[in-house]
Structure 1
Amino acid sequence: MGEKLKGIVLSLIGYFLLIANLFAEVELTVYNQDLGLVREEREIEIEEGIRELEIKDVAAYIEPTSLHFKSLNYPEDLRILEQNFEYDLISRDKLLEKYIGKEIEIKDKEKNKVMKGILLSKRGGLVVKVGKKIYLEPEGMIILPELPEGLITQPTLSLQVENKKHRKHRIEISYLTKGIRWRADYVLVLDKDSRRADLNGWVSIDNKSGKTYKETKLKLVAGDIHKVEKQKLWSYRNKVGLAEEAVVPQFKEKGFFEYHLYTLDRKTTVKDNEIKQIEFVSVYDIPVEKVFVYEGVKHGKRVEVRVEFENKKKNGLGIPFPKGRVRVYQPDEDENLIFIGGDEIEHTPAEEEL
């Protein structure tokens, strides 16, 4: 099987006993603290005996020691003997590094000639020895004879399992991963008299975990999770308008342990290297109060101006507010919105003042 990657030509012959890539269901739970919980169900046909199982398309920043693997339909027949996480992904630098001291080819496209030589170094450019001559940064397309051992095209979990009977298993796989987090952002628009306001809240999910989660059930956990640190890793546009009723929220909130769990009422796709924004709350015409606060020890001669409102059901609220940034706007005489300040709020329970 041949593969071309960024001008580097290589050939690859691979043998896999089993590849598990049949998704049945994906669920993603994202925490505030650069942490995500991935849960997947896959249907895998496994032969009897000790077998090698390769699970591709896992997060690049998976914490392997957090892996939970279970057969949902035949749990007593299947167990893991060994597990390995392969994360040494193909890149130009890694490919060249594997060929230092070995022969490579460089093809001159204009002259249609191929030069063979020993790669001495790749730091600051290629250094190639051809006979007794040394070529510095020779121009042309680099050609490698084959894919070096140990490099893979995507993160892969390799499992050795023991299966009592040849059958199709419905496998549950769950694990923790770094590289993904969420935050809340709020926009508060005051009226000219600073007596009423519109509030829009968004959740922003920043995914740099090395995996795209397609059509996933999305949950967000608000609160600071206690976890063991220093684990080794393998590897607006916003239109504001006045209305009397609140928009039906997309997230359903409920308490869970000592945290708040927000579940999106539909499936969504969270792409790798993407910041996805989803509306969290949208309430209009809230009664607010402008308060002047003077704290001499803290602020000196400066007087602080605060905008306060009650987080109650009678105002279309009455829900826990996740920690996040609030930006406040107010229209001028020409009805143009002017940014007048902002602040951070902590996790705020329902029925409390904001």
Structure 2
Amino acid sequence: MEPQSSLPDDLLRAAPKVLLHDHLDGGLRPATIVELAAEIGHPLPETDADALATWFAEAADSGSLERYLETFAHTVGVMQTASAVTRVARECVEDLAADGVVYAEIRYAPELHVESGLELEDVVAAVQQGFEEGMAAAGGRIVVRHLLTAMRQAANAREIADLAIAWRDRGVVGFDIAGPEAGYPPTRFLDAFEYLQRENFHFTIHAGEGFGLPSIWEAVQWCGADRLGHGVRIVDDIKVDEAGVAQLGRLASYVRDKRIPLEMCPSSNIQTGAAPSISEHPIKLLASLRFRVTVNTDNRLMSRTSLSKEFALLSEAFGYGWAEMEWLTVNAMKSAFIPYDERFRLITQTIKPWYAERMSG
């Protein structure tokens, strides 16, 4: 008999959650895309919000990372003015707060939003304004910070790294590279990562999603990644025998021993072909082996998901209850790029008391 979710929807949404891997241009409200597109004459495949939501989900559901990335032409296309970027950022915070997220790091690539005259600095300032408006509207229930992303297929990594450092005390807490993994190894951007390390700054690297162990190895051992974006393919370095005993290879052992966080995005991984189904997602094996696993949304629009929904799917597939959800949430909070005292305060004052109350009832 298949496990059933033991976590009621209303409590799932109320539960304090932490989100480390979420793309700003992958989480727009469909109605907002329709309105912003109409203002600038951007052609859309559908102009009804519900129909557009379905189009995004189906176009992203191809099993190909490259095809999945094509859907962003429409979200990025309507995010080319400061007012549009601020609106999207504000609504992102509002939507996460409504879903019970208490801390989030939202990533985006400033270089994708300069087609209509914005400077890179203008993009970051517009996002920060939206985040501040959203946090104020949420009445202190959520803290949101930026991760600045450089695109692998471009050559702007060092410039974006400089931008991240310039904004480090104004909302930006980390750096990232994203885009197609195959053909664009993280070592191409080694100068940016070495610069960030010299500046005592944090960074995560998309690795082990569309490509395998070599991508993870380079991200960790050459570039010094603090976290791995996805990291699903680390399971290629783990062998499970017929008795169910796992043997870890040297890279998998290193990642686990060093507590390098894995930013896992179950629904997204199925869409891009990184995992065959939720029930077969490596997250269960990796969690059982006590890797530093975290649960994330990646692109809420394309995956038609929320962090509550991701936890509901894991609960249904694996029988996860409040104890597992708390462990995964604390993992994420421990792995955040904000200072230790702020992480500790959220864990001890917000996260653990809530789950303790659920589990004692």
**Interval containing the TM-score (normalised by the shorter chain):** under 0.3
Higher helix share: 2
TM-score (ref. length: structure 2): 0.21
TM-score (ref. length: structure 1): 0.21
Higher strand share: 1
